[in-house]
């Protein structure tokens, strides 16, 4: 195949020039204006544009001394539009290859210049269609428009052009049959005539391609079956049965189940069948979808800005038909991308009728239909248990599981590790179905809200954070729905329960947006508790980003709110915030900082706000640590740990607080040069953290201490973990003293 041939050429160059293959890839990447990873993708089977194919061919011929045979196979596998002329230019006057035996076929042309994003599926097809593989039928299943027919055609054409295949792997004939009754073109749905409708139609196609009229001339079905079975057993024939879901003939499935060896069959269908090796197609991965968008824009001489292409990718979810049709409509109608994106959001669009109506009609009013509609409420995916509860199957586990299986068979949902999801366009269609059943929608909404209120209660304990990370997006969706529908009291309550969770997993942008809405509402309603909780989240995000001006603005807002409210808890929060802002500004003496925080601590302790008391002890310890007053810092941390031991039952997240205080004790030990002891403490602490910012800091500190101890490989491994978090959260550098020390170390060694 193309990737193997390219690898042969590159290895030949590397051997002749005595250079590493990776170095050669870097050199060619620079020459072609691409990254080495693009060349790696080509070596795995992705075919670049014709200009780069030609450049690769010239490079391998000139520098790798490849021969004419290699060149012909390379260009044909790449489907180069002018391969004969290029062969004659690069290898003039050489003896042509012998013609391969004629392969009979009735294949239609490819509808694409290059099939993108299906290299793995093509490799799987090639493996299953091998003469050595014992099973004879491969089923390509998936949603309408996902590219099943295109993949089957591409595979067949590669066999048609595969004159480099061993004789035993070649087919003597390829027979294409489609039951497709309509196509979706840029102009709309277009009827088309199926080439077969039943087993008799398959026999007719076989007789025509193989030029065996005896198959259709015999009178009895038994004689016909004998002739067909003998023909398929004596020859290696590839049958391609397209759109099987439109065929209502049980004898066809029997025929496929008993297909004689060495013949093979590829079946494409929206509905999975049990007589074949399954290959389930999903929408394209993001990188492949971008390639498809680029290819289609080039084909139609259109240009999309990067941001527009990304929006098209998000709206289509990488569904090939939706991408191809959208860009085709822009070329055909002269329409703007904005108009087409709006069209994609309209469930009356022909695309939805073509892709979904047939399958949804099969489940409407049944259990599967209820599950399908309920899944539209979830932001990304759902567990089996959650979806069953929300759809009303709490006491009907069998009905739930049967309905989910039916949706999978119809390719309407995607399952991954027992979590279920909808593609973006499928979600729009499911939401449209839900809108047509208002009574069911109301009941489903109530169960949806109740389910996530229950999860929110669990998330008040940080030990549960990791177990519910997959629910974060839908939790946000629930809160936003409550805000949109005017249920701000419920939204604020839910926010207060999950805000630490959202911060801990790094959802800072949506957390900040919702916190602003809660602050606005709390100011009007004079809801002190909600105001304080939302302000804490906003201040913490600003503090982690070292955004002093933002912190000062939030402090002023707190002061304005506090004037008429007269709340001691709000007053304590103000003292703590003033001290934190002053510490960053550097305009308060150390004693004033300590005194103000101690003042807040005393008030928090008076009202038994133990988490805030622990916060104050931790801040005081950090202040002393910064001043290298290690004994005072350790005293603050240990006092906090003692208080935690006494009030453990009253403190949510007690295990995490213990880890934070012990971790800071360990950091103090490390600051005094006892790196091995500090590492021992910090490795133990890692197991109990929940905040991504805490993880990043501990990884950075451990990496630096391991470096000091001479454990270089472990240091880099830890540093890599830290960098991923720092980059994702856009944390300012350095994030701590050890981060600054590490950066200086790396700079000093180059």
- Residue 218: the pLDDT is 79
pLDDT over 90 at 401, yes or no: yes
- Residue 18: the pLDDT is 81
CA distance 429 to 412: 10
Question: Residue 75 is encoded by which pair of tokens?
Answer: 């260009």
Q: What is the largest CA-CA distance in the chain?
A: 106
- Please state the rounded mean pLDDT for residues 291-309: 94
Q: Which residues contact 180 (CB under 8 A, 6 or more apart)?
A: 149, 192, 194, 242, 243, 246
Q: Which residues contact 498 (CB under 8 A, 6 or more apart)?
A: 456, 459, 475, 479
Which position has the token pair 């980003």? 545
CA distance 368 to 360: 9
Domain at 104-280, CATH from 3.65.10.10, 3.40.50.300, 2.40.100.10, 2.60.120.380: 3.40.50.300
Closest CA to 518 of 502, 538, 503: 538
- Residue 454: the pLDDT is 98
CA distance 472 to 478: 10
222-245 pLDDT, tens digit each: 888 999 999 999 999 999 999 999
CB atoms within 10 A of CB 495: 26
Q: Which of 85-99, 151-165, 495-509 has the lowest mean pLDDT?
A: 85-99
- Please state the rounded mean pLDDT for residues 438-458: 98
Q: Which residues contact 397 (CB under 8 A, 6 or more apart)?
A: 388
Which position has the token pair 């042309």? 109
Answer whether 63's CB lies under 8 Å from 16's CB: yes
- Residue 38: the pLDDT is 82
Domain positions in the chain are: 2-90, 104-280, 286-344, 352-450
- Please state the rounded mean pLDDT for residues 278-286: 94
Closest CA to 476 of 484, 550, 213, 686: 484
9-23 pLDDT, tens digit each: 888 888 888 888 888
- Residue 156: the pLDDT is 95
pLDDT over 60 at 711, yes or no: yes
First to last CA, the chain: 43
The band of 93, judged by pLDDT with boundaries at 50, 70 and 90, is low
- Residue 96: the pLDDT is 54
- Residue 612: the pLDDT is 96
State the Cα angle at 100 between 98 and 106, rounded to 5°.
Answer: 150
Return the bridge partners of 183, or none: 190
Answer whether 475's CB lies under 8 Å from 452's CB: yes
CA distance 750 to 745: 9
Which position has the token pair 């910064």? 626
DSSP conformation class of 211:
T
Question: Residue 712 is encoded by which pair of tokens?
Answer: 């270089």
Answer whether 11's CB lies under 8 Å from 63's CB: no
pLDDT over 60 at 98, yes or no: no
The band of 300, judged by pLDDT with boundaries at 50, 70 and 90, is very high
Coil vs helix vs strand at 384: helix
Q: Which of 54-58, 71-75, 574-578, 663-667 has the lowest mean pLDDT?
A: 71-75
pLDDT over 90 at 67, yes or no: no
The band of 420, judged by pLDDT with boundaries at 50, 70 and 90, is very high
Answer whether 213's CB lies under 8 Å from 148's CB: no
- Residue 14: the pLDDT is 83
> Helices 610-626 and 590-606, interaxial angle, to 10°?
160
Answer whether 117's CB lies under 8 Å from 285's CB: yes
- Residue 375: the pLDDT is 98
CA distance 537 to 294: 42
Closest CA to 3 of 138, 120, 154, 144: 120
Answer whether 269's CB lies under 8 Å from 281's CB: no
The band of 99, judged by pLDDT with boundaries at 50, 70 and 90, is low
Domain at 352-450, CATH from 1.10.3470, 2.60.40, 1.10.10, 1.20.120: 1.10.10
CA distance 310 to 305: 9
- 3-state class percentages of the chain: helix first, strand second, coil last, to nearest 5: 65, 5, 25
The band of 274, judged by pLDDT with boundaries at 50, 70 and 90, is confident
- Residue 94: the pLDDT is 56
- Residue 750: the pLDDT is 58
With a pLDDT cut of 90, the percent of the chain lying above it is: 75
pLDDT over 70 at 208, yes or no: yes
CA distance 575 to 378: 41
Q: Which residues contact 213 (CB under 8 A, 6 or more apart)?
A: 207
Closest CA to 396 of 388, 405, 387, 384: 388
CB atoms within 10 A of CB 490: 16
Q: Supply φ then ψ for residue 415, to 5 degrees.
A: -110, 135
CA distance 704 to 745: 9
pLDDT over 80 at 460, yes or no: yes
Instruction: Report DSSP letters for 548-612, one per residue.
Output: HHHHHHHHHHHHHHHHHH--HHHHHHHHHHHHHHHHHHT-S-HHHHHHHHHHHHHHHHHTT-HHH
Element housing 267 (H / E) = strand 264-269
Mean pLDDT of the residues in the chain: 92
CA distance 732 to 545: 6
CA distance readout (Å), 592 to 81, 551, 586, 626: 78, 19, 11, 16
Q: Which of 72-81, 87-96, 500-509, 633-642 has the lowest mean pLDDT?
A: 87-96
State the Cα angle at 638 between 645 and 682, rounded to 5°.
Answer: 95
Question: Residue 340 is encoded by which pair of tokens?
Answer: 């087409």
CB atoms within 10 A of CB 172: 17
In terms of average pLDDT, the best of 35-49, 74-88, 190-204 is 190-204
- Residue 169: the pLDDT is 86
Question: Residue 359 is encoded by which pair of tokens?
Answer: 């399958």
Question: Residue 723 is encoded by which pair of tokens?
Answer: 């960098």
pLDDT over 90 at 40, yes or no: no
Q: Supply φ then ψ for residue 701, to 5 degrees.
A: -65, -45
The band of 697, judged by pLDDT with boundaries at 50, 70 and 90, is very high
> How do strand 419-421 and strand 381-383 relate by DSSP bridges?
antiparallel
- Strands in 414-416's sheet, in edge-to-edge order, are 381-383, 419-421, 414-416
Helix ranges, 275-423 (H)? 286-299, 306-316, 320-333, 337-344, 350-352, 358-363, 367-375, 384-390, 397-409
CA distance 316 to 322: 6
Q: Which of 92-96, 154-158, 350-354 has the lowest mean pLDDT?
A: 92-96
């Amino acid at each position: 195949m193309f990737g193997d041939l390219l690898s042969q050429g590159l290895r030949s160059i590397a051997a002749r020039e005595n250079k590493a293959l990776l170095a050669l890839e870097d050199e060619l990447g620079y020459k072609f204006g691409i990254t080495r990873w693009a060349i790696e993708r080509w070596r795995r089977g992705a075919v670049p544009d014709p200009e780069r194919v030609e450049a690769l061919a010239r490079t391998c011929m000139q520098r790798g001394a490849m021969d004419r045979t290699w060149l012909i196979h390379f260009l044909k596998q790449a489907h180069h539009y002018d391969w004969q002329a290029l062969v004659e230019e690069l290898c003039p006057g050489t003896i042509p290859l012998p013609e391969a035996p004629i392969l009979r076929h009735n294949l239609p042309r490819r509808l694409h210049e290059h099939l993108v994003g299906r290299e793995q599926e093509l490799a799987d097809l090639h493996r299953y269609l091998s003469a050595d593989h014992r099973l004879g039928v491969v089923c390509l299943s998936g949603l309408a428009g996902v590219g099943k027919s295109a993949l089957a055609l591409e595979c067949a054409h590669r066999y048609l052009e595969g004159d480099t295949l061993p004789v035993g792997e070649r087919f003597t004939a390829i027979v294409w049959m489609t039951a497709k009754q309509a196509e979706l073109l840029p102009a709309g749905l277009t009827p088309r005539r199926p080439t077969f409708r039943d087993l008799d139609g398959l026999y007719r196609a076989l007789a025509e391609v193989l030029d065996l009229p005896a198959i259709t001339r015999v009178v009895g079905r038994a004689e016909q079956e004998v002739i067909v079975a003998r023909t398929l057993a004596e020859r290696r024939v590839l049958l391609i049965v397209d759109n099987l879901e439109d065929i209502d003939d049980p004898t066809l499935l029997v025929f496929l189940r008993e297909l004689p060896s060495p013949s093979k069959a590829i079946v494409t269908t929206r509905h999975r069948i049990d007589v074949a090796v399954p290959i389930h197609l999903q929408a394209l991965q993001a990188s492949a979808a971008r390639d498809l968008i680029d290819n289609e824009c080039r084909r139609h001489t259109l240009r999309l800005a990067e941001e527009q292409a990304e929006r098209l990718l998000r709206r289509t979810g990488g569904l090939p038909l939706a991408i191809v049709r959208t860009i085709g409509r822009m070329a055909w109608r002269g329409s703007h991308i904005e108009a087409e994106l709006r069209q994609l959001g309209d469930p009356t669009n022909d695309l939805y009728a073509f892709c979904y109506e047939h399958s949804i009609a099969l489940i409407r009013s049944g259990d599967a239909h209820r599950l399908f509609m309920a899944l539209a409420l979830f932001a990304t995916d759902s567990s089996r248990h959650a979806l069953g509860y929300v759809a009303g199957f709490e006491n009907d586990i069998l009905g739930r599981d049967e309905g989910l299986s039916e949706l999978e068979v119809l390719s309407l949902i995607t399952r991954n590790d027992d979590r279920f999801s909808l593609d973006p366009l499928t979600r729009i269609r499911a939401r449209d179905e839900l809108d047509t059943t208002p009574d069911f929608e109301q009941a489903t909404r109530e169960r949806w809200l109740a389910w996530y209120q229950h999860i929110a209660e669990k998330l008040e304990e940080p030990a549960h954070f990791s177990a519910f990370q997959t629910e974060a997006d839908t939790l946000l969706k629930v809160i936003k729905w409550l805000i949109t529908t005017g249920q701000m009291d419920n939204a604020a309550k839910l926010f207060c329960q999950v805000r630490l969770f959202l911060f801990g997993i790094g959802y800072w942008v949506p957390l900040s947006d919702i916190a602003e809405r809660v602050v606005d509402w709390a100011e009007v309603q004079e809801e002190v508790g909600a105001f304080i909780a939302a302000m804490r989240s906003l201040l913490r995000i600003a503090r982690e980003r070292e955004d002093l001006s933002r912190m000062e603005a939030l402090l002023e807002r707190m002061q304005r709110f506090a004037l008429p409210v007269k709340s001691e808890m709000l007053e304590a929060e103000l003292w703590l915030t003033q001290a934190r802002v002053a510490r960053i500004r550097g305009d308060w003496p150390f004693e004033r900082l300590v005194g103000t925080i101690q003042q807040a601590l005393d008030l928090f302790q008076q009202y038994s706000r133990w988490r805030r008391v622990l916060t104050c002890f931790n801040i005081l310890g950090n202040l002393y640590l910064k001043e290298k007053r290690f004994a005072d810092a350790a005293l603050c941390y240990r006092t906090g740990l003692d208080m935690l031991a006494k009030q453990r039952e009253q403190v949510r997240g007690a295990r995490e607080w213990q880890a934070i205080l012990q971790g800071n004790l360990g950091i103090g030990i490390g600051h005094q040069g006892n790196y091995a002891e500090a590492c021992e403490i910090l490795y133990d602490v890692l197991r109990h953290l929940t905040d991504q910012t805490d993880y990043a800091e501990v990884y950075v500190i451990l990496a630096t201490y391991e470096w000091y101890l001479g454990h270089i490989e472990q240091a880099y491994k830890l540093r890599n973990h830290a960098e991923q978090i720092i980059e994702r959260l856009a944390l300012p550098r350095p994030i701590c003293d050890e981060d600054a020390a590490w950066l200086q170390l790396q700079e000093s060694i180059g």
